Amino acid sequence: MLPPEARLVRAQLERYIESKLYWVLHAPRQSGKTTFLQSWMRKINAEGKAVACYVSVERCQAFPDAAEAIPAICAAIREYADTFIGPALTPDLPQAEPASALSAILKDWAARVAPRSLVVLFDEVDVLQDQALVSFLRQLRGGFAMRGMGTFPVSVALVGMRDLRDYLLRSKDGEALRPGSPFNIKQDSATLSSFAADDVRALVAQHTEETGQTFSDEALAMVYELTRGQPWLVNALLQKCCWQLCPKGEPVGIEQIEEARELLIVERAVHLDSLAERLRDPRVKRIVQSIMIGESDPDLAKGDDFLLTLDLGLIRVENGTPVVANPIYRETIARMLSYSYQLAIPPPEFRWQQPDGKLDMEALFHEFQDFWAQHADIWEEKADYTEAFPHLLLMAFLQRVVNGGGRIEREYAAGRGRIDLALLYSGHWSIIEIKLVSHQGRESTIQKGLEQVIRYRDSIDRSADAWLVVFDRTEKGRKKSWKKRLSWEVRETAAGRVTLVGG
C-alpha cells in the first residue's frame, strides 16, 4: 500500500478547509481516488477540527432526472454518514422537493455537526448526467454563499474521472447551459499522478519484506515500462506473477512479467474491459483513431475531446506527441478494435508455415491481399473506426495466425503517419509497417515508409525481414481496379530489402 496523498498534484488540502473552498479531484479509473478520500476523511476526523464524510453518488448513474437522482443522493448521504461518522451526526431525509432537497439535507447536516465545520467528499460525481447533474451543482452553488460552521458545508470535493469542464452537458431540451453558472463555485482542480518507477520498487519492497519473494531489477523496470505507473495495471501484473505464475514464492523475472502481460490482455480483466465502453464514445474515438493511424492533425488537441481523453487516462503527451497512455493499453485497444474482424476471419487453410516452423510471410501476405479484395468494401461499411479500418483488418488477420504461437508488438502515435508492427514467431522477427497513401502521393508515401520500416527494423533486430504495406484509400486509389491496387514489389535499399505490399 502506497499513501495516495503523496501522488496528489496541485492539491492544497489544508487550505481547502481553512479557506472554505469547493474543489475538484479528477483522475483515471482505479488510480486511488477513493482510497485517498477515505484516508483523508479519517485524518480530518481524527484531528477533530472538522467533520468529514465520504459519499459516493454512483448509485445515481441511471437517473438523468433530478426528481429521481436528488432523493437518491440524499439517501446516499444518510447511509454514508451513518457508516462513517455515526447516527448522532447523521442528517434526516428532507421533506423538500428535489429542487431544494440536497440543499436542505446539507443545511441540516452542517447544523448537526456544529460547532465543528462540515467537509463533504462526493465521489463518482461524473456519473451524474443531464438535469440530475445540473440540479446537484446548482444546489451546491445556492448554499456556497452561506457556507460556514452550522450553516452549510465549508468545503466540498467533487471527485471523478473528469475535470469539471467536462460536466458541461446539454439540458434535455437541447439548450446549452447558460454561464449562470452552477459551475463557477470550483476553486481548484487537482489530480492523482500515476506511480513513478521508484513507487513500483517501493511497493514490491513491501511484498519482498513480507514474503521473501524477489523481483529482478529488469522485471521491475519492465513493469513500469508496460504500465507507465498506472496503479491498477501495476498491481494486476504483480498479482499475476505472485498468485498465478510464481505461487510458491519463486523469484520473478522478465519472462514472468511478459507472460503476465499477455494473460491480462487475453483475459480482458474488468479494468481493461471497461476500455471497450470508452472506445465507443465518439469524442474518444476521434482522438484514438487519429493517434492509431498516425495522423498529423493540428486540431487534435483543440476542444474538450482531447482533454477528456487525457482525463480518462487513455492517452498522454510524450515529448510533445499524443500517445496511448501505456503499452498495455496500446495493445489492448488494438486487439479490442480488431477482435470482431478476427472472429469473422476463417481459420487459415493456406500454407502459412515454412518447413522450419517459421511463418511463411510471403504466403501470408498474398492470402491477405485476396481476403482484402473480397471483403474490404463490404466490411468497411460496418466499421466504427473507418479511417483505421485497413490497419485493424490486417492486424486481425495476423493475430488470427499467430495466436498461441507468437506475439505482435505495436507502435503508434499521433503524427507518425504509420503503425509499426514487430511480429515474433518461432524466434524470428518480421517487421511490418502499415501506411495510408498521403496527399503527397503514393510514391512519396512509399519512400518515407521505406526509411521508417528500416529504422524500426534496426531498433528491433537487423536480421528481421521487412514489409511495407501501403493502402491507397484516396478517391483516385479507390477507382483503380483490384489488379492494380493489389501490387507486390521488392525494393532494395542501402540498408536492406523491403517487400512492398499494396492494398
DSSP 62: G
Q: Does the pLDDT value for residue 147 go beyond 80?
A: yes
Beta-bridged to residue 419, according to DSSP, are 434
pLDDT in tens, 354-365: 888 889 999 999
Greatest mean pLDDT range, 117-121, 122-126, 288-292, 358-362: 117-121
pLDDT in tens, 48-85: 999 999 999 999 888 889 999 999 999 999 999 999 99
**341: confidence class by pLDDT, cuts 50, 70, 90:** very high
SS3 26: strand
Amino acid letter, residue 395: M
Which position has the higher pLDDT, 132 or 172? 132
Q: What average pLDDT score do residues 320-337 get?
A: 92
Model pLDDT, residue 157: 93
Q: Does the pLDDT value for residue 180 go beyond 50?
A: no
CA separation for the pair 50, 439 (Å, rounded): 63
88: how many CB neighbours lie within 10 A of its CB? 8
Torsion of CA 200, 202, 207, 213, to 10 degrees: 80
CA separation for the pair 261, 257 (Å, rounded): 6
CB-based contacts of 235: which residues, under 8 Å, 6+ apart? 203
CA separation for the pair 24, 156 (Å, rounded): 8
Contact 224, 197 (CB under 8 A): yes
Torsion of CA 171, 127, 280, 438, to 10 degrees: 80
Model pLDDT, residue 176: 45
Q: Does the pLDDT value for residue 155 go beyond 60?
A: yes
Q: Which of 121-125, 298-302, 359-363 has the lowest mean pLDDT?
A: 298-302
Percent of the chain, pLDDT > 70? 95
Model pLDDT, residue 494: 87
Model pLDDT, residue 126: 86
CA separation for the pair 372, 396 (Å, rounded): 12
**187: confidence class by pLDDT, cuts 50, 70, 90:** low
Q: Record the cell numbers describing residue 374, joined without a space.
A: 473480397
Q: Does the pLDDT value for residue 89 go beyond 70?
A: yes
pLDDT in tens, 471-496: 998 888 888 888 888 999 999 998 89
Percent of the chain, pLDDT > 90? 58
Q: In order of start, what are the domains of the chain with their CATH numbers?
A: 4-192 (3.40.50.300), 197-267 (1.10.8), 273-502 (no CATH)
CA separation for the pair 373, 378 (Å, rounded): 10
DSSP 242: I
Contact 192, 31 (CB under 8 A): yes
CA separation for the pair 108, 113 (Å, rounded): 9
Q: What average pLDDT score do residues 384-396 get?
A: 93
pLDDT in tens, 17-31: 888 989 989 888 888
Residue for grid cell 447533474: 133
Average pLDDT value for the chain = 89
Residue for grid cell 517459421: 358
**109: confidence class by pLDDT, cuts 50, 70, 90:** very high
Cis peptide, bond prior to residue 87, ω within 30 of zero: no
Contact 208, 20 (CB under 8 A): no
Contact 333, 324 (CB under 8 A): yes
Beta-bridged to residue 9, according to DSSP, are 191
Contact 186, 158 (CB under 8 A): yes
Cis peptide, bond prior to residue 115, ω within 30 of zero: yes
**93: confidence class by pLDDT, cuts 50, 70, 90:** very high
Q: Record the cell numbers describing residue 139, joined without a space.
A: 444546489
